[in-house]
Amino acid sequence: MKKEQKNYAKLLVNKGLNVQKGQTVIVRAAMDQIPFVEEVVRLCYKRGAKKVTVEWLHQPLEKIDYKFCSEQTLSDIPEWEQKKFDYLADTLPAILYIESDDPNGLAGIDQKKVAKVRQNRYPIVRAYRDKIENKYQWCIAGVPGEKWAKRVFPEAKKKEGINKLWDAILFTSRADNDDPVAAWEKHNADLKRRCSYLTSLRIKRLVYKSSNGTDFSVGLIDGGRFAGGEELTLSGIPFNPNIPSEEVFTSPKAGDAEGIVFASRPLSFRGELIENFSMRFEGGKVVEVHAEKNEELLKTMISMDENAAKLGECALVPFDSPIRNSGVTFLNTLYDENACCHLAVGEGFPECLIGYENMTLEECREKGINDSIIHVDFMIGTADLSIDAVTDDGVVPIFREGNWAF
């Protein structure tokens, strides 16, 4: 492995997860970068991890399962799996999710079957998720997969494409230098400053306008806050859940959104690409969608449950970001959502409420945090996007020409 790749692994372990002495760690990864995963495991142990477990994933096997297994079989959560959920809730391991899959690798499967399976499993999965909410460190990051690299750089030969994707990942993750951890400490400080300012405005509403047709407004929660970059578990352990991350975000008030938004980048959803699409909101939820590619999948996405068509996140990302400036469309939401401003339909974040640590999840949802089976980010930022904040003191410009206005 190159020095920069080793430094990147160290960044994920030390700054992403911030592995604690005596803590258990789970690494979930596909089999595209075994040497990288080995390095991550080694570094976790050097940080004092008690036990590191790797859960290997393989996208083609998932496709085979959905082709041959019945809906009932895929929906079943056997006793051993429920016991595993209980164990994870009790031990709170740090979890690293390494993404490398083909963005279109599940094309051709029955997406309605996938949706039904998720709906059937959700009651048990949700109970587990509620138990661990904001209690453990987690981090999502990427490493190049062969098919992912080919999708992003179709004209490149295999090795060249993988190397180009490595370069793009390291650059956008601020890991193409001798000390990525120091670079992230500086970046986190900048994001924290912006979060503090936006929270202090006590914004009532955000208004979006762009020449591509986006004309949209969304209400924010009284007592909400903006977050971004480094986060804290309820026990006070800092970690960075997304590497890379350029966003400052909040959860809007569920059911308070009006207007239309046009996507500015393709969306990879469940292994298939949705392209050139729009969503129209009325009465706080999506009432109409259009897409040049995979419109039916888009409709399936927003009908997963009664709240899937409501917003769970508003994220502010400057158009002049490392991801957008790289010139690469990654076809992976972790990266593409950090190229420009985005929204997310589905589940909101309780941590976007001031004092959430003293509230139950039910109380957070009563205040306006959306509850859904999904959380799907889609990009709407453009070079001419303007965003205004409506406050008690008047209108405050937040974005002009796609970038921060402050």
Task: Find all residues with CB under 8 Å of 197, minimum gap 6, and list them.
Answer: 406
**Cα dihedral sign, 179-184-187-193:** negative
Helix, strand, or coil here: 227? Answer: strand
Task: Find all residues with CB under 8 Å of 214, minimum gap 6, and list them.
Answer: 208, 259, 260, 261, 262, 380, 382, 385
**Domain 3-172 superfamily per CATH:** Thermophilic metalloprotease (M29) (3.40.1830.10)
Instruction: Report which secondary-structure segment, H or E, holds 61.
Output: helix 59-68
Looking at the DSSP assignment, which residues form a beta bridge with residue 215? 209, 260
Q: In the structure encoding, which two tokens stand for residue 245, read together?
A: 């991350």
What are the boundaries of each domain within the chain? 3-172, 202-404
Task: Find all residues with CB under 8 Å of 179, minimum gap 6, and list them.
Answer: 7
Task: Find all residues with CB under 8 Å of 379, minimum gap 6, and list them.
Answer: 263, 264, 265, 267, 336, 337, 339, 340, 341, 342
Q: Mean of the pLDDT values across residues 172-180? A: 96
Q: pLDDT tens digits for 198-207?
A: 999 999 999 9
What pLDDT score does 4 carry?
96
Q: What is the DSSP letter of 299?
A: H
Q: Mean of the pLDDT values across residues 143-153? A: 97
Q: pLDDT tens digits for 217-242?
A: 999 999 999 999 999 999 999 999 99
What pLDDT score does 146 carry?
96
What pLDDT score does 104 carry?
94
CA–CA distance, 170 with 173 (Å, rounded to integer): 5
CA–CA distance, 53 with 27 (Å, rounded to integer): 6
The residue whose two tokens read 């966003």 is 247
Helix, strand, or coil here: 214? Answer: coil
pLDDT band of residue 33 (cuts 50, 70, 90) is confident
Q: In the structure encoding, which two tokens stand for residue 298, read together?
A: 């888009």
Task: Find all residues with CB under 8 Å of 356, minimum gap 6, and list them.
Answer: 134, 350, 364
Q: pLDDT tens digits for 253-270?
A: 999 999 999 999 999 998
CA–CA distance, 264 with 214 (Å, rounded to integer): 10
What pLDDT score does 1 carry?
82
CA–CA distance, 5 with 36 (Å, rounded to integer): 8
The residue whose two tokens read 């089999």 is 31
Here the contacts of 388-395 (C-beta below 8 Å, separation 24 or greater) are 388/206, 388/207, 389/198, 389/201, 389/203, 389/205, 389/206, 389/207, 390/203, 390/204, 390/205, 390/206, 390/207, 391/201, 391/202, 391/203, 391/204, 392/202, 392/204
Q: pLDDT tens digits for 312-353?
A: 999 999 999 999 999 999 999 999 999 999 999 999 999 999
